[in-house]
Amino acid sequence: MKAVKYITIFLFVLFAVSAIVIPMQIHAATLGQEPYGMDSFDRNHQCRNLVRNSGFESILTGYTTTYGLYPGPYRSNGLIGVTTNAKSLQSNFLNFTGDGNFLGINSATNGNNDFICQDIRVERNRTYDFSVSSRTIWAPGKHAWYINGTAITGIITAPSGSWGTSTGTWNSGSATIARLCGRNMSKAYSGADFAVDTIVLRDSGRDGSCNNCESHVSQKCVENSVYWFNSCGRQQDLIQNCSGNQTCQSGACVNSCTPYSSQKCVGNSVYWFDSCGTQQELSQNCSANQTCQSGACQDQNQNVNCSSDCDCGANGFVDNTFCTGNDVYKNYKVNTCNNPGTSNSSCSSSLVPIFWYGCSSGQTCAGGYCFYN
């Protein structure tokens, strides 16, 4: 009877342990998969996004991870989980959603560790475009992306308040398998947690129908910078960052101009011009007894005192030398025509003191000359 009792207890414990262990094994099996992408039956995979389950619609199918899985100990580091709202993973996370499922990462404190990886079949000697969306869920999270151990992005600080997209490129060389990994780059104990979504890796030289794409076909604006795009509409390398007084328009950096900044003559008419010198609308057509001069219609019989600075006399040195400190100066007269070519024109002049020479040691400047003491 005792033997039967012990056997019964043993079977009960074995059944209980199996009930716990078996579901964990089933869940773990969804993580590791055969390399995804090109195979002998469907090379067209190379023309589309090669990342399996890129938006985490199938939870973590296709990925491997060294992190623990939510639900885990409250505020424990080194956990990941698929959700539609970050706050559902941990109560102190920000309350935001994405476009369906996304992956939340409570980063491990030792930093420089991979939170997810996926093996993808690729073709040799092809260039691939990469992109990923991310967002901070608790203090600024930092991550980077690697293929076969080589960085394909810089360190990405996940944006706060909205999703942001980061990009990179990779050339396969002789590789036929691309091990794509997302890596936590923060060692902070508190915070530095983030979310990722829409992971994309595709052949930059082909469109979704496997048509070859011609490189560097057009230039387009991305925010306030100009980038090359191929014939399939994919963004390529940077051409130019527009400066502070420029805006990117129609694939080019153009000056930020103030409209109606000045008036100038075009033929015998007055036109508005912006601050960049671009002609705008007509301001006035001069009449038959008028001529357009200096951006205004002037009567031909009006008394014009000057039309340019030259009409006001030659510039040059005037007067005697004089002392300033222990140096000798002389005035230079500058003549200016004000309102040139109009009835209001007038000449004016100004004196600019010009350094002539300096007195040496043991000399004193007096009356515009240097004298020995």
pLDDT of residue 110: 75
From the list 280, 245, 242, 282, the residue with the least C-alpha distance to 259 is 280
Bridge-based pairing state of the strands 68-69 and 79-85? parallel
Arithmetic mean of pLDDT over the chain: 84
pLDDT of residue 98: 87
pLDDT of residue 48: 79
Domain segments of the chain as ranges: 28-212, 213-256, 260-302, 303-373
Could you tell me if 52 and 180 are in contact, meaning their C-beta atoms sit under 8 angstroms apart? no
pLDDT of residue 24: 29
pLDDT of residue 196: 97
**230 CB burial (10 A radius; 0-12, 13-18, 19+):** buried
From the list 248, 370, 272, the residue with the least C-alpha distance to 321 is 370
From the list 285, 286, 291, 283, the residue with the least C-alpha distance to 307 is 291
pLDDT at 41 over 80: no
Classified by CATH at the fold level, domain 28-212 comes out as Jelly Rolls (2.60.120)
Residues 6 or more apart in contact with residue 269 via CB below 8 angstroms: 282, 283, 284, 285, 286, 292
Quick: pLDDT tens for 303-323.
778 889 999 999 999 999 999
Q: Rounded CA gap, 339 and 349, in Å?
A: 14
CB atoms within 10 A of CB 352: 12
pLDDT of residue 33: 55
| Maximal C-alpha separation, the chain | 135
Cis-peptide, bond into residue 71, ω within 30° of zero = yes
Q: Rounded CA gap, 340 and 288, in Å?
A: 21
**Cut 0.75: pTM above it:** no
pLDDT of residue 298: 83
- The residues with which 168 forms a beta bridge, in sequence order, are 130
- Among the ranges given (145-159, 330-344, 357-371), the one the predictor scored with the smallest mean pLDDT: 330-344
Q: Rounded CA gap, 261 and 244, in Å?
A: 20
pLDDT of residue 20: 33
Residues 6 or more apart in contact with residue 6 via CB below 8 angstroms: none
Quick: pLDDT tens for 217-229.
899 999 999 999 9
pLDDT of residue 302: 66
Q: Rounded CA gap, 111 and 284, in Å?
A: 69
- The residues with which 271 forms a beta bridge, in sequence order, are 264, 282
CB atoms within 10 A of CB 285: 12
pLDDT of residue 79: 92
